[in-house]
Amino acid sequence: MGGAILAYLAKRITPMLSSIVSFLAISSAAVVFFTMTSSTDVVTVSVRNFTLQFGLNAYSWVFAAMVMGISALVSLYNIAYMSGKDRLGYFNLNFTLAIMSMMGIVFANDWISFFIFWEIMTWSSFLIVVYNGIDEGKIGTKYMIFSAVGGYAMLMAIVITNSQIDSFLIADLINAYPTFGHGMQAMIGILFLIGFSVKAAVMPLHVWAPRAYSDSPMSFTAIFSGLLSKMGIFGMAIMFISVFSKASIGDTFIYSQVIAWLGGVTAVMATFYAVIQKDAKRLLAYSSIAQLGYIVTGLAIGTKLSVMSALFLAVIHALYKGILFMAVGAVERQAGSTNLEQLGALIRKMPWTFFSALIAAIALAGIPPLGGFVGKWMLYESMITSTNPSHLFLVILIFLSSTAAFLYVYRLLFGLFLGQEEPEWDHVKEAPAPMVIPMVLMALTLILLGYAPGLLFEPIANGMEFLGFENVGWQMSSLSNIWGDTVDMQYVWGSVVTLFVLGAIFITIKNRKSTRYVTTKDIHTSGEIPEAHENLTYAVDFYKPFERAIEPVMRKTMDFYYNHFGNGLESLFGFVRKIYTGNGQTYAMYVVIFLVILLLIGEQIFK
Amino acid sequence: MDTNDKGVRKIVDMITGFARSNSLFMLAYGTGCGDIEIPPAMTSRYDWERFGYRKMATPRQADVLLISGYLATKTLKRVIRSYEQMQEPKYVVAFGSCTINGGMYWDSYNTIKMLDHYIPVDVYINGCMPRPEAVMSGLFDLQEQIKKGEANGAQKYRENLEWYRGNQKKVIKNWVMPEYNW
Amino acid sequence: MTTENNNLEREEAVVVALKATFPDLTARVKRIRRVEASVSKALTPSVLVHAKNVLGYKALSHISCVDWIEDEHFELVYILWNPDEKIQLLIKTLISRENATMENIDTIWRQANTYQREMREMFGIEFPGFVGAKEFLLEDWDDMPPMRRDFDTKEFVKEAFFLRPGREDAKDVRDTIAKRSKEEIPEFAKKYSREK
Amino acid sequence: MEDILKLLGGAAATMLLAFVVGATYGGLVRKIIARTQNRVGPPWYQNFVDISKLYMKDTAVHHGVMQHIGPAFAITASVTVLMFVPVLREGGWFPWFENLNFKGDIIFLIYMMVFGSLGMALGIGQTGNPNASIGVSRGLSMMVGYEIPFVLSLVSVMVQTHTTSITGLMEWQTQNGWLMFEAPFAFITMLLAILGMFHYAPFDIAHAPSEIASGPPSEFGGKYLAMMMTSGSIFAFAKLVFLVDVFMNGASNLVMLVVKTLLLYMVPVLYGAVSPRYRTEQAIRYLWGWPVFFGIIALIYSIYI
Amino acid sequence: MKREKATTLYLGPQHPGITGNMMVKLKVEGDTIVNSTTHVGYLHRGFEKLMERRNWLQSFTIVCRICVPEPDPNEENYARAVEEIEGREVPERAQWIRTLVLELARIGTYLLWFAGQSGSAGLYTMGQWSIGDRDYVLDLFEELTGGRVYHMYIWPGGVRRDLPEGFEAKVLQTMDYLEKRLIQYDKLMFDNTIFQKRAMGVGWIDPEKAIEWGVVGAPLRAAGIASDVRKDDPYEVYDQLDFEMGHATTSDVWGRAQVRRFELEQSINLVRQIIEKMPKGEYYNRIPNPMKWVVPAGDAYVKTESARGEFGYYVVSDGTNKPRRVHIKGPAYVHAMTLLEDMLKGANVSDVSFIMNSLGTCPPEIER
């Protein structure tokens, strides 16, 4: 079944030269996927003595569905977004390849195919990052190096595993893991985690992410941040739930603690950075890192509720971050800028974009009654009900990050859509329908998931059961923690929506005839008449007081990163760039060479 | 039916009058030296909050424009702007002799002499300067007017906008104000 | 004036010091702590700089301008203060009323900026090389600078503003107020009432 | 159908009660502040007069749809919070005040409380008034400040009682005594946090008149301001009831409720009456200082008790 | 024209934070001010022009309206200038009464300033108290002069009328009351750590440059420079009284607050001294018929230390019954214009009103 889809995709790759074809390919693949996933066939492809095995299980179904659904919508958006740009063939090839490879990762049943698709994903996304032709600020290189480190780590782990159990199958590793020695357990675990953490942009390995997210074309960033990073989560979840939980107790504890706190710190720091950003794309990029931090924390805690929340958040994050990146992309395309300090008042020009961005922002902030809240709630409850005291302190970090998220969410909406209407943006019009439709559809999905999160719980619960949890309970619209406390989303949703509609109706019909719209120039300016060139939008350094308040924290980390870590990396790049030409083929060649070397000498080393 | 309707109308008017007259939000705009008697009126000696008077910072929220003294032509422009941004019903209380006839600044080249030719004035309080008691007495007067439905300066302004505009433009040479949207 | 020390030695020393540097200048002691000097227009900036840097008149208290329309000139008065000696020095200079210009001194004292803006607006004195916002107190003023003696404010007022005619009935407002608020007028107040 | 009717009835009744009590509190607070300032102060019903006058304003202007529905966001949040908070303890004399008490828990309420702020902030953002935007920037920054001790306090309470629902907390308190005494550090933290939450001095910089006019509501007048004030009254009451429920075991009748909420309300009010205001960063640092310290002690206390 | 990057904030004229009717246009980035300009002229009445049209005594009604919170130094200044030109003697008792009035006015203004300074930091209770207490001082004025705000009491040649019976006792009583209240003010405002945090280090003036920049009054004394017209250029009977100048070295808002706080105490003390030492005698050296009163040609520059700083009057007579020129310079003429503009660069939006109050800006004396 999976192979069928892959073949279907592969067939399409070559002739694909336009976005439309890419959309058709992906959406038809999506259609095929969603209509024919009942079977769980396993396809085995044998290449000489490697056996590649593909198949779908309940767990990977969640990710596969997410990838297919969202990338189908994004590729529709992509048609309009990319129209009129250069090198469409190049872009769309890589775009489709990235999506295809994600499917491949999800479908992979053994580490080799997993790794191959992982690398295809890496370099296709790398090629899109450097799509503009210029590698400004060495983002592409940075991304490549981090991915390479991650890739090598993973490869090494795979080879070690193979040397231990003589099998590449994921299931075999899961079964054999408890039998490993203490050091081996740790080594494999850490190496895999490094590999996945790079993609999930966990704190020490996140350096590549903000620029790479913000500098690639927005239609791809929606995929990049929404889905591609989730592949890291996909792997991590397997590691945490199926593998680590079977390690000796002390180790599990340490892994989960370290990773959970790393996730928490990632969330807080990235949120702080997001708050002080001046560019919408960069803001969203940091926000993505922060949100991935929650998910990692959720996985690391490892209780039923927390894993469910992590997986739920992973899907929801793909939805709302997808919308936000697409909305920013729409603004970028229509207005030609994403600078939060210059743009403003696009709400009257791009109402639909605003609507979807608003819904996504509310979901991101975790405010009821949308889907985002469900995930956040489960995460908090899982931490509060946790028996481990350190999680109780961690919950404060997560809360801090989550509250500070309101700041950047507001800044984003305010900077792009609200504020003074300036004549320089008069020409802006609503984005074309292919861009608006996916956003609105995804926004409606978010609203629906707020009403009935159970729609998503069902596959996630199945997936978790596949991973090794037992009796993962779920209800259509009611959330509950292990203390038996519940939140009934149906009532929440119902009351919020009813009250809001009533309030809106009331305020509209009251004095309707004598309520009038006035332009934003007609504001209270202490009785003075502003001159034309005077700027009345308060958008520059919007959170200056907050910046000053968090300055001590920020200064320390900034020093740490940029002076020590950053400088070290820069010099490393200088050296590494001699080896890496920035060319994907060369890189692939290196990978192959490395693989061969490892295969040749691996057995001697690890025997 | 007719009488009943009238009765209802009367009760509604009474409630409206009561609410409007007992909650006067003044615009915090000290246009002239009269502003020095506002703090005493607000604070513990006279405490005008007893009567529901309160100072508001922006014209959108305010009901009463308190012209505390003479208006220089430069201020007049800002006063008109603030007045036009206020929401109806709105009232103007002018105090100090200088708002009535120019007072001691009758021959000054930079102050206007008759405020009611530029914006409609509901209550004048004379004196230079009026004591807080006088200010409050003037405000009581305004309350009475509101209760009776006589304080209709805003309506006058809206209906005779052209006449007011003519007068205003005579004094304010560089007229760059947005249109009055009420 | 009551118990003043009539020892004017320090003041006279200032006069001597000024005359030593600028022989063309006339200076006299006005009273205790007040010294007055008359300088030609060309010499004024150098006298000011000298007074500030050498004689210790660090503070600029005031710059005033008097319009002597009969003699066709403006009199500019720079009033300086010596915080150590506690002496006020008035430096006076005459400039022609036609095309009145004066040296810009806001490089010597920052706050001279404001005074010069005012003089430019109120008297029409130009300060070459002086950068300062055009409008200071008046807005959109297109008449003669108002502080000139030949500007008749009464005529201007008659033209520009509405004037309320005086009240004919000469009624006492206090009675009206008392009546309206049903207030008892005390006996002693009644004799002041104009309403008999 | 009957359920929905009951819900609507309960909502309406609760809302009415909350509005009446909240607005009365507003008036009382003005009165009390006036007394500390050697004044008589307005009558207790002054807020009702103000609000009804604002509703009776003839005209209203708005700068766009977001400003138009901004107050609707605010009132939605206030009423929803109120509906999920048990106004009276079980066995109170109004059985239909139960509303939706069993349908939500504390985490939900924490989030619901910011719903209105965010909606309002969006409405305010559309006015394009720089003063209002500065107010929003300050208000949201400050929110990050006081949410941390607030959440710390609540988390430690939840950990101590092993429940996250308010009704559960109240049951626990009925058995074990008020959390005010059972979790003293959490209560101290909460007292410090509510100084920030109620936006009285020294944490009122978000709408400091001498700097940014009236701050966020600068452009709101007439019905919009009225709706904001209504929502503010309801919200103040909802927050107070919430706190009373969490720390003082709620109240079994209205009189006790009024006494307890008023007592709690006096903390920020009286402290505010004699304090100047902090600058934003000073406020945030203050709130992340002692309150968080007490909060961490509270958390440790709750874990190891 | 290209849109500016910095946001424009209008602080005034219709703004609760501004002192009087003026405007400070702020250009802010974040909440840091990058540029500020003071705009005045909203109160311009052309006083100096009007005085050219009025005779020497009529001008009195105008002079006191130049500074609303504290009109008496203006009256005293004008009277003293006219006396200096004319050479008119002032009876000794009149001088003592003038000093008494000036000190009472100073107390009233400081109380008003307490309200402004604390109100701009959000401490409204202080304002309510101190303005309420100021009313007791105004009551004294009302009894003495008949006017609450504008007194028109200090005339050339003396004062308009003698002290009413029992006035001294009332003054002393009020002073006792104020001294008691001062302890409460301390508790509420000066010992308040939040107020200290707000005030310390804010609105710093370079003490090296302060004199050159034209800083006068309490801000100058707070910069560690002993300068007080009452000491430096004694007028009326200040040389027979015993008092100290306020002193601080921090040169910030906190220093200015402390200087004013100290001087309020000194003023209360001074009033007591004056009442104690006041001689009996004439209070008025009668001027001739005001309509025909001619002041000989001449000029005079006189100055007074008001509560907010130094008031200077330059009066020129051309030998007619009307003044040729009366040019008035108040402390705010420098404080609110160039000094404020310079100080606000780099300051925080939260502190603008706070700094302005500490400088004692008052627009009427800039515009006149």
B165: in domain: yes
Which of A521, A526, A531, A533 to probe the B interface (max B CBs under 10 A)? A526
pLDDT higher than threshold 50 for residue A14: no
- Within 8 A by CB and 6+ apart from E323, the residues are E51, E52, E56, E59, E295, E315, E316, E317
| pLDDT tens sequence across E256-276 | 888 888 888 888 988 988 888
CA distance D105 to E123: 38
Domain residues for B58?
A: 2-171
In angstroms, the Cα distances linking E283 to D71, E77, E141 are 66, 17, 17
Determine the residue of chain E that is closest to A533 in CA distance: E3
- What pLDDT is stored for residue C183 in this prediction? 65
- Between D9-18, D63-72, E303-312, the lowest mean confidence (pLDDT) is in D9-18
Neighbours of chain D (3+ CB pairs under 8 A): A, B, E
Q: What share of chain D is helix, strand, coil (3-state, %, to 5)?
A: 75, 0, 20
Cβ distance of E17 and D201 shorter than 8 Å: no
Task: Give the best-scoring range by mean pLDDT among A364-373, A416-425, A505-514, E93-102.
Answer: E93-102
Mean pLDDT in residue range D141-164:
86
Helix (H) or strand (E) holding D71: helix D65-84
D209, closest residue in chain B (CA to CA)? B57
pLDDT score recorded for residue A586: 58
- Please report, for chain E, the start and end positions of each structural domain, with discontinuous segments joined by +: 7-367
Query: What pLDDT, on a 0 to 100 scale, did the predictor assign at position D174?
Result: 81
Provide the pLDDT for residue A43. 60
Residue C76 maps to a domain: yes
Give the Cα separation of B58 and D135 in Å (integer): 14
Cα B59 to chain centroid distance, Å, stands at: 12
Beta strand residue intervals within chain C, DSSP E: 26-31, 34-39, 59-68, 73-82, 87-96
- Please report the pLDDT score of residue D187 as a whole number: 87
CB contact (8 A) between residue A536 and residue E12: no
Determine the distance in angstroms separating the CA of B180 from the nearest CA of chain A, rounded to an integer.
10
CA distance B105 to B112: 9
Q: Is chain B adjacent to chain E, meaning 3+ CB pairs within 8 angstroms?
A: yes
**Residue D200 in this model has a pLDDT that exceeds 60:** yes
Tell me the backbone φ, ψ of residue D58, rounded to 5 degrees.
Answer: -75, -35
A209 or E115, greater pLDDT:
E115
In a domain, residue A10? The reply is: no
Q: Tell me the DSSP string of B94-116.
A: EESHHHHH-GGGTT-TTB-S-GG
Interface test with D, best of A499, A518, A535, A547 (most D CBs within 10 A): A499
Nearest residue to D99 (alpha-carbon basis) of D29, D221, D4:
D4
C146 contacts E53? CB cut-off 8 A: no
In this structure, the number of other CB atoms found within 10 A of the CB of residue D64 comes to 23
ipTM score for this prediction: 0.85
Q: How far apart are CA E113 and CA B75, in angstroms?
A: 25
What gap in Å lies between CA E299 and CA E85, rounded to an integer?
Answer: 6
**What is the model's pLDDT at position A138?**
63
D37 vs E118: CB contact, 8 Å cut-off? no
Q: Which residues contact C146 (CB under 8 A, 6 or more apart)?
A: B109, B110, C122, C138, C153, E46, E49
- Beta carbons within 10 angstroms of residue B75's beta carbon: 27
Boundaries of domain holding A394: 248-514
A282/chain E closest Cα distance in angstroms: 19
Of D115, D158, D281, nearest to A545 by CB-CB distance is D281
Beta carbons of E49 and C151 less than 8 Å apart? yes
* DSSP for E301-355, written as a single string: EEEEEETTEEEEEEEEE-SSSSEEEEEEE-THHHIIIIIHHHHHTT-BGGGHHHH
CATH for E7-367?
1.10.645.10
| Closest residue of chain E to B82, computed from CA coordinates | E14
Tell me how many domains chain A contains.
Answer: 1
Work out the average pLDDT over A505-515. Answer: 81
Mean pLDDT for all residues in chain A:
75
User: Angle at the Cα of E333 (from E331 to E336), degrees rounded to 5?
Assistant: 95
With an 8 Å Cβ cutoff, are E122 and D130 in contact?
A: no
Q: Is the dihedral of CA A501, A507, A508, A510 positive or negative?
A: positive
- Under an 8 A CB cutoff, do E8 and A534 touch? yes
Residue-wise pLDDT tens digits, A319-331: 888 888 888 888 8
CA distance to partner chain E, nearest, from residue D102 (Å)? 41
Q: Does E329 touch chain C (CB under 8 A)?
A: yes
Task: Look at residue C133 and tell me whether its pLDDT is greater than 80.
Answer: no
Q: Which residue carries 């021959």 as its tokens? A: B107
Question: Which residue is associated with the tokens 């020093």?
Answer: A559
State which residue of chain E sits closest to B37, comparing Cα positions.
E149
Selecting from B29, B176, B181 the residue whose C-beta is nearest the C-beta of A529 gives: B176
Cis before A210? omega within 30: no
Among E31, E195, E352, whose Cβ lies nearest the Cβ of D276?
E195
How many structural domains is chain B composed of?
1
Integer Rg of chain B from CA: 17
Check residues A11 and A331 and name the one with the higher pLDDT. A331
Query: Longest C-alpha distance within chain A, in Å?
Result: 86
Q: What is the pLDDT of residues B127-172, one digit of tens each?
A: 888 888 888 888 888 888 888 888 788 888 888 888 888 888 888 8
- A542-572 tens-digit pLDDT: 888 887 877 777 765 544 554 455 555 555 5
Instruction: Answer yes or no: do B167 and C162 touch at CB < 8 A.
Output: yes
| Chain A touched by E8 (CB under 8 Å) | yes
pLDDT band at C189 (very low <50, low <70, confident <90, very high): low
Domain total of chain C: 1
Phi, psi of A303 (to 5 degrees): -85, 170
Tens of pLDDT along A52-69? 677 777 777 778 778 777
Question: What tens digit of pLDDT does each residue of B66-115 get?
Answer: 888 888 888 888 888 888 888 888 888 888 888 888 878 888 888 888 88
The number of C-beta contacts closer than 8 angstroms across D and E is 80
What is the least distance, in Å, from the CA of B103 to any CA of chain D? 31
Q: Do B110 and C138 touch (CB under 8 A)?
A: yes
Which residue among D56, D59, D213 sits closest to B57, beta carbon to beta carbon?
D213
Choose the closest CB to D52 out of B19, B54, B88.
Answer: B19
Residue B18, CA distances (Å) to A43, B24, B148, D27, D46 in order:
82, 11, 10, 17, 12
Residue D44 has pLDDT above 50, yes or no: yes
Compute the distance between CA of residue A199 and CA of residue E262 in angstroms, rounded to an integer: 66
Averaged pLDDT, A415-443: 83
Within-domain flag for B162:
yes
Beta strands (DSSP E) in E188-297 are none
**Does the pLDDT of residue A607 top 50, yes or no?**
no
- Domain holding C105, by residue range, is 9-140
Q: Between E131 and A494, where is the model more confident?
A: E131
Q: What angle do CA D97, D99, D105 make, to 5 degrees?
A: 120
Does residue D185 have a pLDDT over 80? yes
Mutate which: D78, D107, D133, vs A, most A CBs within 10 A: D107
d(CA A189, CA A170): 13
- How many inter-chain contacts (A to E, CB under 8 Å) are there? 59
By residue count, chain A amounts to 607
**pLDDT at residue A133 greater than cutoff 70:** no
Cβ–Cβ below 8 Å for C177 and B137: yes
Model pLDDT for residues C63-121, shown as the tens digit of each residue: 888 888 888 888 888 888 888 888 888 888 888 888 888 888 888 888 888 888 888 88
User: Which of B106, B112, B173 is facing C140, going by the closest CB pair?
Assistant: B173
| Chain segment E168-189, per-residue pLDDT in tens | 888 888 988 988 888 888 888 8
C-alpha to C-alpha distance for E176 and E183, rounded to whole angstroms: 12
Query: Chain A within 8 Å of E37 (Cβ-Cβ)?
Result: no
**What DSSP element (H or E) covers A221?**
helix A218-223
Nearest to E51 by CA among E306, E280, E326: E326
Asked whether the beta carbons of residue D111 and residue A392 sit closer than 8 angstroms, the reply is: no
pLDDT of the residue at A16: 43
Domain of C33, CATH number, reads: 3.30.460.80
Give tens-digit pLDDT for A165-193. Answer: 777 777 777 777 777 777 777 777 777 77
Give the predicted TM-score (pTM) of the model: 0.86
pLDDT of residue A4: 43
When CB atoms are compared, the residue of B58, B176, B182 closest to A524 is: B58
Q: Which of D53, D58, D61 is closest, CB to CB, to B19?
A: D53
* D154 or E20: which leads in pLDDT: D154
Distance spanning both ends of chain C, measured CA to CA: 51
- Contact at CB, E339 and C111, closer than 8 angstroms: yes
Contact E50 B107 (CB under 8 A): yes
- CB atoms closer than 10 angstroms to residue E336: 26
* B155 CA: distance to closest CA in chain D (Å): 11
